[in-house]
Amino acid sequence: MSYVLFEEGGKIATARLMSQAETSMQVEMASGKRLKIKTQQALLEFETPEPAVLLDWAQAQQDDIDLDLLWEFAPDEEFPFSTVATDYYGGTPDARHQAAVLLRLHGAPHYFQRRGKGLFRKAGQETVRAALAAIARKEEQQRRIDEDASALAAGQCPASIADKLYSLLFKPDKNSIEYKALALAVHQSGVGALQLLRQAGAIASPWHFHMQRFLLEYFPKGTGFGNLPIPDATMPDLPLAPVEAFSIDDSATTEIDDALSVQARSDGGWCVGIHIAAPALAMPRDCPWDLAARARMSTVYMPGDKITMLPDALVAAFTLREGRNSPAVSIYFELDPEFVVRSHETRIEHVHISANLRHDLLDAVVTEASLAADPALQPYPCAAALALLWRFAQRLKAGREAVRGRPERPGGVDYTFRVSGLDNGEDAARVDIVPRRRGAPLDLIVAEMMILANTTWGGWLAELGLPAIYRSQSGMGANLRTRMGTRAAPHQGLGVPQYAWCTSPLRRYADLVNQSQIIAAVRHGRTAPLAAPYKPKDAQLFAVVGAFEDAYGAYADFQRGMERYWTLRYLQQESILQRDAAVLREGLVRVDGLPLVLPALGAQELSRGTRVRVQFGAADLVTLEQPCRVVEVLAPEPAASSMQSAAEEPDDDAASALAGGLQVAVDVVDAGDAPAATAAEAVVPAAEASPSA
């Protein structure tokens, strides 16, 4: 009985020869499968031993064949494998020895190049040397991979992996040794990459973990700016406005975008000015600084720090700092004695900033009562102007509420985070969380003035046929939708016919774009659509809207995540083990006095508004999970809470965006983890109008 050894699909196989023609053979494999092969595929015919026995023996024997020796005495020209088999074994080698040599030649392409039907040609000396070096490197890399994987599984983090920790977790090079070691360790241990690295002590700083996670995604080249010249903000050709303006911001604010002024009119009316810093005057479309701002889209805020959209020097040149004349885009509203707006006018000018008021220093004294009293008796600056703006703001708010068909939810608390000592490491840092009543007089004044400016400018641009970036809102309750686009549309939550972000050009790119359109409108009037930086149906403007919305949402998620991190740190810092809370829904509770919403064991069956006392477990500062359980029910649901409008539900959605902790998507083996949830936007006018919103 005859057998044949042949090549099929780049592999060596054996079979029983059944029949043979001039150009083909019919063979039967050991499995019983029959094949028709070409005669030129047959490399060796033999009668003994059995095909399977021959192949097994040859595969076992080939590893003992010295490749260097084979290469040394192989001819320089093409040769059949039988030739070197004869030279290697001497005499007339049998089928087993020939098969062993064939397998050895076949499996060593770095020594011998296949030339067809059992023919080979030995590689050049330099080729062999380079190939052997590459094999040695690969073997060394595999050794390192195995060693590092074993170390991780044993709870130790190799230095090579520690050095690339965050890029491995969030932006891995899947061809790197470190990634392959981590993937192997995950596969062998059955433990996720993040958990495995934590067990190995690789993540020493949760704060650094969250920062690097964000920076690698959105600032992979770093947070610095190129070495570009700062635009000139002197602009001597601009007229000086005949007003004394003042700003209202937090003490930590450096990007002071907006200021206000008040002038009395002889007929008992008033002129209210809203003045916005004007970097767009020196940053035309597609100039280097415009491109830099477009790449970032917004300032990124986080407790204790921020990443600005524009460099500090450029911000300092255009910010509305106290005691100097600053270029501004101003809108003036002429009011009658009853605070009804009679007309408005937009100007490009210098504005003298007489004061930078800080609401965190003045909120305690600028109260409803003080604003209703004699301004001359008040201990704070700009008292008369603030009193008038307070009355005007209340009228504006009432008008918007009439359009909305319901009043805005009263009360509510915003929180300011102050982090100190972070330069010495997060363990040395101290966080203070300062509550601030939402809708406080200064807060309401700024919010209403900005809503008025953004609404009016948005309408004016639409009237002139100029595209701009708008925010619109429609729907109710769970169907509430906030959108961005280039056409004016109603903003239901604010109760205005249109809303274009225009009042924070130092910190939001959408506002910078809109300001450039406003400047064109002032300079060119009805012909502005022909001269504006962005013309109708400009494709780049649509791209800016999409990119801004994505970036702004991601930055907001990051800010919420870092605020949650510092809130959990605050619980540890103050040794808070229990706290009163209010039940929201689906087992969530809102902790009193803190910006913290989280699931609480035992709250699932309690109705919304029920007052409870909760107990905290040990927080996980990496995943931002905070164990919590109800230990006492303090009071049932108050009647008033059950009457709250379903349309105001999104406030709780925004507060509870990270209630379940942060789910970290790690792009290595266990990369199927879901990303962190995105909060719905709250229907809060101050949130839309606030410079940092």
Contact 191, 277 (CB under 8 A): no
Phi first, then psi: what are they for 91, rounded to 5°?
65, -140
**pLDDT confidence of residue 643:** 35
pLDDT surpassing 50 at residue 284:
yes
Please list, in sequence order, all residues whose beta carbon lies within 8 angstroms of the beta carbon of residue 271, skipping any fewer than 6 positions away: 262, 263, 264, 265, 332, 333, 334, 335
**pLDDT confidence of residue 369:** 95
pLDDT surpassing 80 at residue 477:
no
Q: Name the pLDDT band for 581 (thresholds 50, 70, 90).
A: very high
Q: How far is CA 285 from CA 88, 405, 430, in A?
A: 77, 41, 42
Q: What is the pLDDT of residues 504-523, one digit of tens each?
A: 999 999 999 999 999 999 99
Angle between helix 441-464 and 383-404 (nearest 10): 60
Q: What is the pLDDT of residues 289-304, one digit of tens each?
A: 999 999 999 999 999 8
**pLDDT confidence of residue 478:** 66
pLDDT surpassing 50 at residue 314:
yes
Residue ranges and CATH numbers for the domains of the chain are 3-123 (no CATH), 129-204 (no CATH), 240-553 (no CATH), 559-687 (2.40.50)
- The stretch 489-498 carries a mean pLDDT of 93
**pLDDT confidence of residue 678:** 28
b/e sequence 543-554, b meaning 16+ C-beta within 10 Å: ebbeebbebbeb
Which of 320, 340, 278 lies closest to 518, judged by CA? 278
Give the chain's mean pLDDT: 88
**pLDDT confidence of residue 131:** 86
Higher model confidence: residue 639 or residue 500? 500
**pLDDT confidence of residue 11:** 87
Q: Name the pLDDT band for 458 (thresholds 50, 70, 90).
A: very high
Please tell me the distance from the alpha carbon of residue 561 to that of residue 407, in angstroms, as a whole number: 31
Please tell me the distance from the alpha carbon of residue 323 to that of residue 386, in angstroms, as a whole number: 19
User: 35 forms bridges with which residues in the sheet?
Assistant: 27
Q: What is the pLDDT of residues 415-450, one digit of tens each?
A: 999 999 988 888 899 999 998 888 889 999 999 999
Q: What is the pLDDT of residues 16-60, one digit of tens each?
A: 999 999 899 999 998 889 999 999 889 999 999 999 899 999 999
Q: Name the pLDDT band for 647 (thresholds 50, 70, 90).
A: very low
Tell me if residue 259 falls in helix, strand or coil: strand
**pLDDT confidence of residue 693:** 37
pLDDT surpassing 80 at residue 401:
yes
**Residue 642: in which H helix or E strand, if any?**
helix 639-642
Q: What is the pLDDT of residues 170-214, one digit of tens each?
A: 888 899 999 999 999 999 988 889 999 999 999 989 999 999 999
- Say which residue the tokens 């012909």 belong to: 527
Contact 193, 182 (CB under 8 A): yes
The radius of gyration of the chain's CA atoms, rounded to the nearest angstrom, is: 37
Q: How far is CA 146 from CA 137, 152, 173, 626, in A?
A: 14, 10, 18, 36
pLDDT surpassing 90 at residue 632:
yes
Q: Give the predicted TM-score (pTM) of the model.
A: 0.80
State what percent of residues in the chain have pLDDT above 70. 91
Tell me if residue 444 falls in helix, strand or coil: helix
Contact 43, 6 (CB under 8 A): yes
b/e sequence 397-417, b meaning 16+ C-beta within 10 Å: bebbeeebeeebbeeeebeeb
Q: Name the pLDDT band for 651 (thresholds 50, 70, 90).
A: very low
Q: What is the pLDDT of residues 88-109, one digit of tens each?
A: 888 889 999 999 999 999 988 8
**pLDDT confidence of residue 283:** 95
pLDDT surpassing 80 at residue 661:
no
